[in-house]
């Protein structure tokens, strides 16, 4: 796959593209990334890329001409890339969209800055817009890195173990389960017995249970029931309980099977119905 990036800050990509999986993928020829400076496509001595907005208002607007020149030059005469503007108005990036983009032969990422980009850029040289969340960033560079990082994991050979990608969060609608490594005990907290049992069937069931618990702690009960179906719901009381990560040591024995009866706690479903509990004895459930 080839990815082109247009930005006014090309140097911010240097360390990112040389590190970890991305750097190794580029070195191995699995991924090709080209970063282009928008200012190279200006036609004035000051290399200006912005101007005051028509109609007044705060902030500066990125001019259309440099963007049009840049996108058309980068596209060249070959197969046209899928041209993406990183924008707060765009479609929310999620796992399904990442997998879709991974099927493209070539991507072109446009990193805006300032107040906005002239609307005629969207109209003339943009195929789609992507947002990485409902919050404000100063530009599209970090979202572009997010897209490159997420998409590259789906390129064969980039991740050493393909099953690592297939088994990641979101594929089954669940979140990830807790992970532990040595030492066995850290500040009085031990690795769960099931993970040291050697019983892989029990371990798989425990991990599924914990992933479901994480999902339920962020959802309404109705959504979870619709999403996961009867087989998964039947395992939700199998006794592989998970104490909230912020819980005190004395409350770690609390399990999903005893959630409804645990003093001062509410099950995720009860919270969604607005039932009350004792906040003094209810540590927050965090992932």
* Model confidence pLDDT, tens digit, residues 59-79: 999 999 999 999 999 999 778
Higher pLDDT, 2 or 221: 2
E-assigned strand segments in 8-60 = 32-37, 50-51
Output the pLDDT for position 168.
61
pLDDT > 70? residue 286: no
Q: Please choose, from the candidates 53, 62, 45, the residue with its C-alpha nearest in 3D space to the C-alpha of residue 7.
A: 62
**CB neighbours of 218 closer than 8 A, spacing ≥ 6?**
175, 268, 287
Sheet holding 61-62, edge to edge: 50-51, 61-62, 116-117
The pair of three-digit structure tokens given for residue 247, joined into one six-digit string: 């819980």
Give pLDDT tens digits for 87-104: 999 999 999 999 999 999
Q: What is the pLDDT of residues 102-119, one digit of tens each?
A: 999 999 999 999 999 999
Side-chain half-sphere CA neighbours of 188 within 13 A: 4
Could you tell me which of 130, 127, 120 has the C-alpha nearest to residue 106? 127
pLDDT for the residue numbered 142:
98
Q: What percent of the chain has a predicted confidence (pLDDT) above 70?
A: 71
Q: Which ranges of 64-174 does DSSP label H, i.e. alpha helix? A: 64-75, 95-102, 119-125, 141-152, 162-166
Tokens of 163: 């099953």
The reply to whether omega before 183 is within 30° of 0 (cis) is yes
Asked if the model's pLDDT at residue 50 lies above 50, the reply is: yes
- Reported confidence tier of residue 163, pLDDT bands at 50, 70, 90: low
Q: Residue 125: count other Cβ atoms within 10 Å of its Cβ.
A: 20
**For residue 265, what are its two tokens?**
């706690």
* pLDDT over threshold 50, residue 246: no
pLDDT at 166 over 90: no
List the helix and strand counts (H, then E) for the chain: 10, 10
Specify the pTM.
Answer: 0.72
Confidence bin at 165 (pLDDT 50/70/90): low
Q: Rounded to an integer, what is the distance from CA 163 to the centroid of its chain? A: 19
Residue, of 134 and 262, whose pLDDT is higher? 134
Question: 22 falls in which pLDDT band (50, 70, 90)?
Answer: very high
Q: Tell me how far apart the alpha carbons of residues 209 and 256 are, in angstroms, rounded to a whole number.
A: 9
Distance CA 65, CA 87 (A): 19
Joined tokens for residue 2:
């080839």
Q: Take residue 257 and report the two structure tokens written for it.
A: 């099977």
CA angle 146, 149, 155 (to 5 degrees): 140
Question: Does position 184 have pLDDT exceeding 60, yes or no?
Answer: yes
């Amino acid at each position: 796959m080839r990815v082109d990036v247009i930005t006014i800050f090309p140097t911010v990509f240097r360390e990112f593209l040389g590190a970890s999986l991305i750097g190794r993928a580029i070195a191995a020829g699995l991924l090709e990334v080209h970063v282009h400076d928008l200012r190279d496509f200006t036609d004035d001595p000051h290399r200006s890329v912005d101007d005051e907005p028509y109609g007044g208002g705060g902030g500066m607007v990125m001019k259309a001409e440099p963007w049009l020149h840049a996108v058309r030059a980068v596209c060249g005469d070959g197969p046209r890339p899928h041209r993406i503007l990183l924008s707060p108005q765009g479609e929310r990036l999620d796992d399904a969209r990442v997998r879709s983009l991974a099927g493209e032969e070539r991507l072109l990422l446009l990193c805006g800055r300032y107040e906005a980009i002239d609307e005629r850029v969207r109209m003339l040289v943009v195929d789609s817009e992507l947002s990485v969340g409902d919050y404000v960033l100063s530009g599209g560079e970090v979202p572009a890195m997010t897209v490159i990082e997420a998409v590259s994991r789906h390129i064969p050979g980039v991740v050493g173990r393909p099953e690592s990608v297939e088994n990641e969060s979101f594929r089954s609608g669940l979140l990830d389960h807790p992970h532990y490594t040595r030492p066995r005990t850290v500040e009085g907290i031990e690795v769960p017995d099931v993970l040291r049992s050697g019983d892989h069937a029990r371990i798989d069931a425990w991990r599924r249970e914990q992933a479901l618990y994480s999902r339920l702690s962020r959802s309404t009960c109705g959504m979870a029931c619709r999403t996961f179906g009867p087989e998964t719901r039947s395992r939700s009381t199998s006794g592989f309980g998970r104490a909230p990560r912020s819980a005190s040591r004395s409350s770690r024995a609390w399990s999903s099977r005893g959630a409804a009866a645990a003093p001062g706690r509410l099950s995720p479903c009860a919270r969604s119905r607005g039932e009350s509990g004792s906040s003094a004895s209810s540590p927050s459930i965090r992932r």
